[in-house]
Amino acid sequence: MKADMAQEAENKDTDQYHYSKNLDNAVQYLSFALGKEEYGVDILRVQEIRSWEPVSRIPNVPCYEKGVVNLRGSIVPILDLRERFNLSKAEYTPLTVVVVLQTGDNNKTRIMGVVVDSVSDVISVDKTEIQSAPDFGAKVSNEFINGLVSVNERMVMLLDVDKLLKLEELDQDEN
């Protein structure tokens, strides 16, 4: 059942319509939804897409760090992006998706999962079309946002995976 789900999710992003702008400076992003907002992560950072499964809670950590799961023998932490971005909480359903991302700091790669509502698309983005995120002031944190791009009249926020999963920041949160 679980495997089917993951397979389905993978099919979903390969079968769907791809932008055929074959430009040299095109970058592919995996887009996913959080509520009504759409975000994108560099597709090369995506290791796999899984369905949500119960995690083992870690005591005394920020609430958006949901816990850890066993991913083929390694212990992988799961972060809830809704809670990370202070969006309203959503119930986890069998359709809730975990995107497993790789992040590399100092030649050591870490794997982490982020909980999102659903993955939507693989989009090709021309680097020149990426606009920098406007400064929203102190109210909204845009520290994780690399830039904005509009695809089919929708705005997609491109996330900086390294910043998103940076552990120093997690450690600071602890203090």
Tell the smallest beta-carbon distance from residue 46 to other proteins (Å): 15
Tell the smallest beta-carbon distance from residue 37 to other proteins (Å): 27
Task: Compute CA 45 distance to the chain's CA centroid, rounded to the nearest angstrom.
Answer: 9
Tell the smallest beta-carbon distance from residue 8 to other proteins (Å): 21
Q: Which is nearer to other proteins, 77 or 147 (CB)?
A: 77
Q: Which is nearer to other proteins, 83 or 129 (CB)?
A: 83
Backbone torsions φ then ψ of 103, nearest 5 degrees: -135, 140
Tell the smallest beta-carbon distance from residue 31 to other proteins (Å): 24
Q: Which is nearer to other proteins, 109 or 131 (CB)?
A: 109
Residue-wise over 144-158: b if at least 16 C-beta within 10 A, else e?
A: bbbbbbebeeeebbb
Residue among 53, 54, 51 nearest 95 (CA)? 51
Asked if 45 and 28 count as a contact pair (C-beta separation under 8 A), the reply is no
Residues interacting with other proteins, by CB under 8 A? Answer: 54-61, 67-70, 73-77, 110-112, 167, 170-171
Q: Which is nearer to other proteins, 135 or 171 (CB)?
A: 171
Q: Are strands 154-159 and 145-151 parallel, antiparallel or unpaired?
A: antiparallel
DSSP letter assigned to residue 118: E
